[in-house]
């Protein structure tokens, strides 16, 4: 048989999820090969299995080995703001004051396309350095900022979703559009970027407070005209915000109803936060098959509150759920650190979040929240090969915590990846592959 030249293969330990551990036994949702082989063809998964079982079938294929490492699907960040990169860790305020004092003045800079391009490039490199291969991203109000972001994402062949912020009231003049211009600009950007390569567009009204009824109505019109674009916004993050929404929309029964009345609650809608949602609102999100981006580092940093994970993931009214960093309200680009804070939020509510559930949310759960469960999120045959090489011994302390690099049993693996969630960060990411190609490699990886 002739060698299959377009195939490449990687030998390593592999961990991914084939089902949702919130609803089926963890042993059925986790797929793990302590010594596995991943075969790639034209940027997609051709096969994944036990090395000994697959090696003869692919004996002609050159194999790259990553001993003592763990390969997982790339992380999926379901909510982040690229123009807030430089103002991460802004001191002392809660949401509404923080927006006025820090976020809005920073976002003003993104009218300058060259500046937006520079920060977009940095932002994407930072995602890759942290093992994030797909994100749902807020740009700024300026269409130039969206062009800059998508140009940089396209150059790196990344599967990214983003959109122009729409806001026509309760924002500084320099950051405001109008209902009509936001509709026209968004429409033009959808036509230009949606499904351009791996890129997808999200209609992005900032939140109910900064949009008039008319702007929300026109956002709904865009969703009707382009049924496979996303809706991305904030929802019920902070108590003062919820109270203000009630004043601004007295005819609505609650915050989610504002979006519902504009036709913005559907199966491609992703709502960031949802900390203050009522049980009825969770039920409505479940009924509409909409998703929530749980952003623990942001919710803790801005003092917004403790998200009710168990309510979102309840069996009776399940809501699609992913993790979001929400940089710059969030405090890290690392999805490992984000999962760590999600664990602590659960603890504070006397709930728990197992390491496999946390890593599911960071990978396949996030992919499903973004309606990309058939495209990315695990190593099923035919999926896009975006994945990361992890080192569970990436600091001296983690090496002491994990004396053996590759777990054999599922129990040992659970213990090992729990330490990765609690102690890991960008240092644990040795390499990031995009569509089967190396896109980031850590410069030195000391062995302890
Ligand atoms: N609500 C409206 N805008 C924002 C934002 O930029 N960050 C966060 N965390 N919440 C918001
Ligand atoms: Zn946000």
Give tens-digit pLDDT for 193-245.
999 999 999 999 999 999 999 999 999 999 999 999 999 999 999 999 999 99
Q: Are strands 159-163 and 132-138 parallel, antiparallel or unpaired?
A: parallel
Instruction: Check if the beta carbon of residue 212 is closer than 8 Å to that of residue 169.
Output: yes
Q: What distance in angstroms lies between residue 235's CA and the mean position of ligand 2's atoms?
A: 9
Mutate to test the pocket of ligand 1, among 77, 85, 96, 103 (most ligand atoms within 8 A of CB): 103
pLDDT band at 4 (very low <50, low <70, confident <90, very high): low
Q: 147 vs 47, 124, 185, 198, 248, CA distance in Å?
A: 36, 14, 11, 15, 32
Instruction: Check if the beta carbon of residue 61 is closer than 8 Å to that of residue 85.
Output: no
Bond from prior residue into 328 cis (ω within 30 degrees of 0): yes
Q: What is the average pLDDT value for the chain, to the nearest integer?
A: 97
Determine how many CB atoms are found less than 10 A away from the CB of residue 27: 10
- Residue 38 pairs in a beta bridge with 10, 48
Which atom of ligand 1 is the closest one to the Cα of 330?
9
Which atom of ligand 1 is the closest one to the Cα of 210?
2
> CATH assignment of 75-369, given 3.40.50.620, 3.20.20.140, 3.40.920.10, 3.40.50.1820?
3.20.20.140
Which atom of ligand 1 is the closest one to the Cα of 326?
9
- Reading the block at residue 353, the tokens are 């979040």
Interval 392-431: pLDDT, tens: 999 999 999 999 988 999 999 999 999 999 999 999 999 9
Q: What distance in angstroms lies between residue 38's CA and the mean position of ligand 1's atoms?
A: 39
324 Cβ neighbours under 8 A, 6+ residues apart: 77, 78, 79, 80, 136, 272, 293, 294, 295, 298, 330, 338
User: How many helices, marked H, and strands, marked E, lie in the chain?
Assistant: 18, 16
Interval 27-39: pLDDT, tens: 999 999 999 999 9
- Residues surrounding ion ligand 2 at CB below 5 Å: 272, 326
- Look at residue 446 in the predicted model and tell me its pLDDT: 57
74 Cβ neighbours under 8 A, 6+ residues apart: 131, 132, 133, 134, 363, 376, 386, 387, 388, 432, 433, 434
- What are the residue ranges spanned by the domains of the chain? 4-73+381-441, 75-369
Q: Shortest CA distance to 242 belongs to which of 232, 252, 231?
A: 252
Q: Is the pTM of this model over 0.95?
A: yes
Which atom of ligand 1 is the closest one to the Cα of 298?
9
* Overall average pLDDT of the 116-124 stretch: 98
- Look at residue 3 in the predicted model and tell me its pLDDT: 52
Instruction: Check if the beta carbon of residue 424 is closer than 8 Å to that of residue 378.
Output: no
Domains 4-73+381-441 and 75-369 share a fold: no
Q: Is the pLDDT of residue 247 over 90?
A: yes
Interval 142-198: pLDDT, tens: 999 999 999 999 999 999 999 999 999 999 999 999 999 999 999 999 999 999 999
- For residues 394 and 407, what is the distance between their CA atoms, to the nearest angstrom? 16
Ligand nearest to the CA of 84: 1
Residue nearest to atom 8 of ligand 1 (CA): 329
* Overall average pLDDT of the 421-445 stretch: 95
Q: 431 vs 128, 239, 326, 371, CA distance in Å?
A: 8, 41, 23, 26
Instruction: Check if the beta carbon of residue 64 is closer than 8 Å to that of residue 9.
Output: yes
- Look at residue 405 in the predicted model and tell me its pLDDT: 87
Which superfamily does CATH assign the domain made up of 4-73+381-441 to?
Urease, subunit C, domain 1 (2.30.40.10)
**Residue reference for tokens 């749902």:** 136
Mutate to test the pocket of ligand 1, among 77, 108, 206 (most ligand atoms within 8 A of CB): 206
Interval 31-66: pLDDT, tens: 999 999 999 999 999 999 999 999 999 999 999 999
Residue nearest to atom 7 of ligand 1 (CA): 329
Q: Is the CB of 281 under 6 A from ligand 1?
A: no
> What percent of the chain has a predicted confidence (pLDDT) above 90?
97
Q: Is the CB of 194 under 6 A from ligand 1?
A: no
């Amino acid at each position: 048989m002739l060698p299959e030249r377009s195939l490449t293969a990687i030998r390593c330990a592999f961990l991914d999820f084939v089902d949702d551990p919130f609803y089926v036994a963890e042993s059925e949702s986790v797929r793990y090969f302590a010594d596995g082989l991943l075969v790639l063809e034209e940027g997609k998964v051709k096969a994944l299995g036990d090395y000994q079982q697959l090696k003869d079938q692919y004996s002609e294929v050159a194999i790259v080995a990553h001993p003592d490492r763990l390969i997982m699907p790339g992380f999926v960040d379901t909510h982040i703001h690229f123009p807030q990169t430089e103002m991460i860790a802004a001191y002392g305020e809660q949401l509404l004051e923080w927006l006025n004092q820090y976020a809005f003045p920073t976002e003003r800079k993104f009218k300058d396309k060259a500046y937006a391009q520079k920060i977009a490039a940095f932002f994407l490199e930072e995602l890759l350095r942290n093992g994030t291969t797909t994100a749902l991203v807020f740009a700024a109000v300026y269409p130039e900022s969206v062009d800059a972001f998508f140009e940089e994402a396209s150059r790196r062949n990344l599967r990214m979703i983003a959109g122009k912020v729409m806001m026509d009231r309760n924002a500084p003049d320099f950051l405001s559009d109008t209902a009509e211009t936001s509709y026209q600009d968004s429409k033009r950007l959808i036509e230009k970027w949606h499904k351009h390569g791996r890129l997808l567009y999200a209609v992005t009204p900032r939140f109910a407070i900064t949009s008039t009824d008319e702007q929300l109505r026109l956002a709904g019109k865009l969703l009707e005209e382009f049924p496979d674009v996303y809706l991305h916004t904030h929802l019920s993050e902070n108590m003062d915000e919820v109270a203000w929404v009630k004043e601004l929309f007295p005819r609505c029964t609650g915050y989610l109803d504002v979006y519902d009345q504009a036709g913005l609650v559907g199966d491609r809608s992703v709502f960031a936060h949802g900390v203050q949602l009522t049980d009825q609102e969770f039920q409505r999100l479940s009924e509409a098959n909409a998703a929530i981006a749980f952003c623990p580092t942001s919710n803790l940093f801005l003092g917004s509150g403790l998200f009710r994970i168990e309510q979102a993931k309840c069996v009776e009214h399940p809501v699609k759920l992913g993790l979001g960093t929400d940089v710059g309200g969030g405090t890290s680009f690392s999805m490992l650190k984000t999962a760590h804070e999600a664990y602590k939020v659960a603890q504070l509510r006397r709930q728990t979040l197992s390491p496999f559930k946390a890593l599911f949310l960071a990978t396949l759960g996030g992919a499903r929240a973004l309606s990309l469960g058939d495209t990315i999120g695990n190593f099923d045959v035919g999926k896009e090969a975006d994945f990361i090489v992890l080192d569970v011994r990436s600091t001296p302390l983690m090496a002491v915590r994990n004396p053996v690099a590759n777990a054999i049993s599922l129990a040992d693996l659970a213990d090992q990846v729990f330490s990765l969630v609690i102690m890991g960060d960008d240092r644990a990411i040795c390499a990031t592959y995009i569509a089967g190609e190396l896109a980031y490699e850590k410069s030195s990886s000391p062995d302890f």
